[in-house]
Chain A
């Protein structure tokens, strides 16, 4: 039985704005699924539909096999972790966590046991009587998570929980969230615009754009085998080139004739390769490209170099170390296996 399923879900708001179309998603129990996309892609709207704050315009939402499409948030077996934590400012940490179980009429002894257990698990025992405004961002985040877990929901919904934390803390809390999810075994739907987060944490990633799903897959799949130009460019960087098919194994591009392993099908629009796939110090083999460099940006672990092309965007290379400079001539090889074809437009 799936934990969460949306079927043909769409959402059109009162002012006519279509936030979501054709959302079909099935999530297994215990899965960690991330909704990834730029702002405005509808990921938060979808999350709120799962939570019950919005009702879909069309389609169905099922939770553990039950149709909950019209059920309000207070009657669903979901719990949400809000971006702003949304802790009750007038209640202490322990009282915040206790709120849900109290609402569900759990008796006092069980409640206290649950609260103490959670406080231990998120390592906030000595802060139990503090008010939220006395806690740091990371601590508030942990309280929000404990509060959600206190009602033992089958699905926990995360609304960009790390966006208000600084970089170092983000990494740490990220691991804590994933750790707790594995330990408790709840299903997690996680919304973020940060692709590094999505790749690191998820079992599956749902890449969204303009209210639609572009691709669903495991992180490796979505990165190594992007299906659309948008997915290729949104996760990591990608070089996209229009192409003309020559025969079964080669295409003509602005970089010259390239040998490819995959065959482009009729919907393929661009040829795609990633900057870090360029091989250097190779003097023989197929797909040897020589070009002049126009721009250079040192990034520490690599240097980004640009190859200008007529009628096509600059192609980008990532070289380890410092290596070449502007105006230099450089030769690199592209392995045919690393070349993909993607459909769709970028804009």
Chain B
């Protein structure tokens, strides 16, 4: 076959042309990705490890010495621990409450047909249509006039509403994947309602539940507008702390540290979610679709 390809008698085939074009595009895009992703992240990591003693000044291409001291310093001297605690207390609570609020509606969408259903489904997307800062500003006016002073509670409420569309969507799909024939089979074999739930509903719901929890969790951790407007200055979250380092006092190393703290767990969670969704699928495809 190799000899065939090298022979002069062969015209350059269309498939070969497509192959080289693909390869060229790949190289171009890989380079672009390097600039797009790798370089900025490397810079961030480097900056987070700059030795407070020596600093990193031009014209050095790389910081003269790397140390984890910066991380320790940020941890002990700034409000980061508090922000971390706040964020990581808020997010799971939001995730769970949102899931509980979303499930009945999702169940309804997945298993019932009724007039106005299409409209109802579109209306659940409302929180996505309002720009984040507008929501934040007016929401803060609202709670102020209602006399709610707990910032944690306020942000919690706002986050739940803001992320309900995601949870509803994910859970609607999950409920939709519950197979009626499995429910029928379980009942036919005499299972109690609880057993029916465990046998027929749970396998389809479990990936959806986990997906919903993870997605809402990540959204809550990253959410900036409401945390900033409603929370400031008492209740800080990781994004609002990061913002304070990006403002007029651009403290690069601190910003780098907080950025990494914000991104790395999220990436790990998202990868975990992807793996989870992939492994869940085989369980769902029955013998006959």
Q: How far is the CB of B22 from chain A (nearest CB, A)?
A: 12
Interface size class of A (residues with CB under 8 A): 10 to 19
Q: How many A-B residue pairs have CB under 8 A?
A: 25
Let me know if B11 and A12 touch, CB within 8 A: no
Q: Which residue of A lies closest to B13 (CB)?
A: A55
Q: How far is the CB of A48 from chain B (nearest CB, A)?
A: 11
Let me know if A58 and B14 touch, CB within 8 A: no
CB-CB under 8 A from A57, the residues of chain B are 4-5, 10, 13
Q: How far is the CB of B69 from chain A (nearest CB, A)?
A: 54
Among A14, A16, A55, residue most surrounded by chain B Cβ atoms (within 10 Å): A55
User: Of A12, A14, A55, A69, which one neighbours B4 at CB under 8 angstroms?
Assistant: A12
Residue total for B at the interface (Cβ-Cβ under 8 A): 11
Mark contacts of B201-218 with chain A using CB atoms, 8 A cut-off: 1 yes-contact digit, 0 otherwise: 000000000000000000
Q: How far is the CB of A18 from chain B (nearest CB, A)?
A: 8
Q: How far is the CB of A230 from chain B (nearest CB, A)?
A: 25
Let me know if B11 and A70 touch, CB within 8 A: yes
Q: How far is the CB of B217 from chain A (nearest CB, A)?
A: 40
A57–B2 Cα distance when bound, in Å, is 12
Q: Which residue of B lies closest to A8 (CB)?
A: B9
Q: Which residue of B lies closest to A70 (CB)?
A: B11
Residues of chain A in range 42-83 having any CB-CB distance to chain B below 8 Å:
54-58, 69-70, 72
Asked if B19 is an interface residue, CB under 8 A from chain A, the answer is yes
Let me know if A55 and B14 touch, CB within 8 A: yes
Residues of A within 8 A of B (CB): 12, 14, 16, 54-58, 69-70, 72
User: Of B5, B11, B19, which one neighbours A69 at CB under 8 angstroms?
Assistant: B11
Let me know if B1 and A55 touch, CB within 8 A: no
CB-CB under 8 A from B10, the residues of chain A are 57-58
CB-CB under 8 A from B12, the residues of chain A are 70
A55–B12 Cα distance when bound, in Å, is 9
Residues of chain B in range 198-256 having any CB-CB distance to chain A below 8 Å:
none
Among B5, B10, B12, B14, residue most surrounded by chain A Cβ atoms (within 10 Å): B14
A218–B1 Cα distance when bound, in Å, is 35
Q: Which residue of A lies closest to B9 (CB)?
A: A58
Q: How far is the CB of B86 from chain A (nearest CB, A)?
A: 51
User: Of B11, B14, B19, which one neighbours A14 at CB under 8 angstroms?
Assistant: B19
CB-CB under 8 A from A14, the residues of chain B are 15, 19
CB-CB under 8 A from A69, the residues of chain B are 11
CB-CB under 8 A from B19, the residues of chain A are 14
Let me know if A54 and B9 touch, CB within 8 A: no
A251–B151 Cα distance when bound, in Å, is 103
Let me know if A58 and B15 touch, CB within 8 A: no
CB-CB under 8 A from B13, the residues of chain A are 55-57, 70
> Could you list some 25 contacts between A and B, CB below 8 A?
A12-B1, A12-B4, A14-B15, A14-B19, A16-B1, A54-B14, A54-B15, A55-B11, A55-B13, A55-B14, A55-B15, A56-B13, A57-B4, A57-B5, A57-B10, A57-B13, A58-B4, A58-B9, A58-B10, A69-B11, A70-B11, A70-B12, A70-B13, A70-B14, A72-B14
